[in-house]
Amino acid sequence: GWSEGGYLTTGLLLRLPGLCKVGVAGGPVMDWNLYEVMYTERYMDTPTENPEGYAAASLAQYAGNLQGKRMLVHGTDDDGVVMQHTMNFLKECVSKQVQVDFFAYPGHAHNVRGKDRVHLMMKVLDYLMMNL
């Protein structure tokens, strides 16, 4: 999944460990405190009004639950889901001694476009074939 789909993929792997053997998440939202206010607050209210909801929805806290293989992909120039989402999650994975495969696409915004899209699709396909 990408964006919110990346959040759902990551959440599934972390909250139901062992259910899925492999997952790929691109530009994933990992912490709704870091995502755009207009979209997030429409569904979650403000962090002040719903601190428990924001805390429960933050995925880094579940990093220690990861089982199976997981690849994270993020464009370095993503202004939709800023790279800090992925960096915070990776920091937590390192802290908890959890291995995660990560690939950054230099110069790409919230998705990988153009000829590099072929590279991304081959990377995802190869990852799935190698780990399923």
Catalytically annotated residues: 3, 78, 110
Q: What's the order of all strands across the beta sheet hosting 101-105?
A: 22-26, 69-75, 101-105
Beta strands in 1-132 (DSSP E): 22-26, 69-75, 101-105
- Is 2 in a helix, a strand, or coil? strand
DSSP state of 77: T
